[in-house]
Amino acid sequence: MTENRSAKYKFGDKNDKEARRKGRQEEGIKLRKNAREEQMLKRRNICMDDVTTSPLKEINVQTRPHDHLLSIEEIVKGLQSTDDNTLYEATQGARKMLSRERNPPIDDIINAGILPTLVTFLQRDDNRKLQFEAAWALTNIASGASHQTAAVVSHGAVPSFVRLLHCTVPEVVEQAVWALGNIAGDGAPFRDQVLAAGVIEPLVKIIDNTQASVPFLQNISWTMSNLCRNKNPPTALEYIRQMLPTLMQLLGMSDKQIKADACWAMSYITDGPNERIQLIIDSGVTISLIEMLSAIPDVLLLTPVLRTLGNIVTGTDQQTAAMLDQGLLSPFQTLLRHHKPNIVKEASWTLSNITAGTKDQIEQIISGGLLEELIRVLENGDFKGKKEATWAVTNLTSGGSALQVFKLVELGGLKPLCAMLQCADGKIVQVVLDGLTNMLNMADASGKTSEMTTCIEEADAIDMLEKLQEHENEEIYKAALNIIETWFSEEEDPQPASGDTYSFQAPKEQVPAFSF
């Protein structure tokens, strides 16, 4: 290897490793932002069977199921009455209007100026049906766009809803939980208002009450996940510590939806600094998460479990090692062949975080037969899966040993990797160019330059590299030009070894013969 080539590259450099991990974290954020939102931010309470009646049948208030739906003008007029029955009917009319399956007139209700009245009804402990209908109406307003949620918050609904968590009527409490979940799901500022209002303690008490129904617990689990959601800023650690034992309790329940939302909460917690990842590891919950993953549950649960564990291995080498020691890799051959492309993508992304780690961690992927599976994804997966597999393979070329890099070539990984040079995603093209540069530098360091250049030529990469010299992205054309000029110029003209079999050998490493 020439002197100027060796100066370009440091194998296993600590800063390089941190850059690879950071790159995967940044791509993970993009992966999540670009993906369709798997877990709903907000939910509207639509009563499909009977929008005219309240579930609080134990309270004797006359309802007329076949009455016509009130107009907004009639609702406004009714809410000016001093008669509780009239107030109830007007509030119920607003709730029914907001419970329409399509296009509820949320802005019209807000503009009618009735929100302050509805919020005051949350204080009507003497009239639970009126209180419930007001809570339901406000829940559906808060399920809308941010400005609609803000209208509910601005009229002081948050402390009133938190107070209702102590109510003795389960239906009222559940509606309050639902409303708070919608408000918290809007974003970090409203989430923090809900947390500051003291929501956690009463939620924990409700969960500890064994009489809570499964739908009620589903609502609580979803609301708690929203309390952990959003990153700018993330939920304060003091609140995470308060919620974590309860989230683990929810994770142990049998209902899949409850477990899934608890897992989503874990994924939001781990989607951040290593301190938060360590909090989850120290809790001991990762053993349960890996057991769930190994059982290959349905996608409802599989997606957040895989996301959580994938987030954890974006952490330090020690945090990744802890997951590997607990058997994280055992289900990945199955996951990389899952019938859902999104699961293959998530699994490949998780492995890309591990190949950004140490040589020992890379070796565990190779010895577990997962490098072959990543190559198969590169060859046959959908584009999103191929992108993540490209990252996984390129990270291996950056942090792996010569033996590990040459194993990638032996297993046929070079051709599908080079094929990604033709994709329209400029970032992925850059990643492939980085990978090829890493492999050529590794071959130089091992005295196997001619073998590697021949393999790259046989992967039909030269034409692709030449086309990239006309690419509009300056970094891409410079990287492609550098590869061509450094390793494939006529001046160098590297001669391949005789025959079709090459023996790649890193210094002082025994490497078997490979056939390509």
Residue 507 pLDDT:
41
Q: Count other C-beta atoms under 10 Å from residue 466's C-beta.
A: 13
- Contact criterion met (CB below 8 Å) for 115 and 141: yes
Within a domain: residue 406? yes
Phi, psi of 493 (to 5 degrees): 40, 65
The pLDDT of residue 32 is: 44
Cα(309)–Cα(297) distance, integer angstroms: 15
Kindly report, residue by residue over 77-89, the tens digit of the pLDDT.
Answer: 999 999 999 999 9
Instruction: Judge whether 209 and 172 are in contact, CB under 8 Å.
Output: no
Q: Measured between alpha carbons, how far is 157 from 180 in angstroms, rounded to an integer?
A: 9
**DSSP result, 126-191:** T-HHHHHHHHHHHHHHHTS-HHHHHHHHHTTHHHHHHHHTT-S-HHHHHHHHHHHHHHHHT-HHHH
Say how many domains are in the chain.
1
The answer as to whether 300 is a domain residue is: no
Please check whether residue 50 lies inside any domain of the structure.
no
Q: Residue 400 burial (CB < 10 Å; 0-12/13-18/19+)?
A: buried
DSSP state of 231: B
Which residue, among 249, 254, 319, has the nearest Cα to 265 in the 3D structure? Answer: 249
How high is the pLDDT of residue 10?
29
The separation between CA 232 and the C-alpha centre of its own chain, rounded to angstroms, equals 15
Are the C-beta atoms of 133 and 90 separated by less than 8 Å?
Answer: no
Closest CA to 311 of 323, 298, 297, 300: 323
Long-range pairs, 416-420, Cβ under 8 A, ≥24: 416/375, 416/378, 416/379, 416/386, 417/378, 417/390, 417/393, 417/459, 418/456, 418/459, 418/460, 418/461, 418/464, 419/378, 420/378, 420/386, 420/390
Decide: residue 486, CB within 10 A, 0-12 exposed, 13-18 middle, 19+ buried: middle
| Nearby residues of 356 by Cβ (< 8 Å), 6 or more positions away | 17, 20, 21, 23, 24, 395, 398, 399
pLDDT digits (tens, 9 = 90+) for 247-277: 999 999 999 999 999 999 999 999 999 999 9
pLDDT, position 14: 45
CATH of the domain at 23: 1.25.10.10
The DSSP code sequence of 197-214 is TT-HHHHHHHHH-TT--H
Query: Of 167, 147, 76, whose CA–CA distance to 116 is shortest?
Result: 76
Paired residues of 234 in beta bridges? 231
CA dihedral over 420, 423, 428, 432, signed as positive or negative:
positive
Is the residue at 281 inside a domain? no
Strand, coil or helix: 102: coil
Q: 0.85 exceeded by the pTM?
A: yes
Structure tokens at 354: 């591990």
Is residue 168 in some structural domain?
Answer: no
Cα separations in angstroms, 257 against 5, 298, 509 = 55, 11, 51
Residue 11's domain spans which residues? 1-34+329-516
Residues shown for the chain: 516
Give CA separation, 113 vs 76, 103, 317, 430, 455, in Å. 8, 19, 56, 55, 72
**Residue spans of the chain under pLDDT 70:** 1-38, 47-67, 490-516
114 inside domain: no
From residue 480, give the alpha-carbon distance in Å to each of 202, 372, 408, 418, 486: 60, 27, 21, 12, 10
The pLDDT score that the predictor gives to residue 40 is: 79
The DSSP code for 514 is E
Q: Is 186 part of any domain?
A: no
CA distances from 331 to 69, 295, 313, 320, 334 (A): 54, 8, 16, 16, 6
Residue 28 lies in a domain: yes
515 in helix, strand or coil? Answer: strand
- What is the pLDDT at residue 28? 54
- How far, in whole angstroms, is CA 262 from its chain's centroid? 13
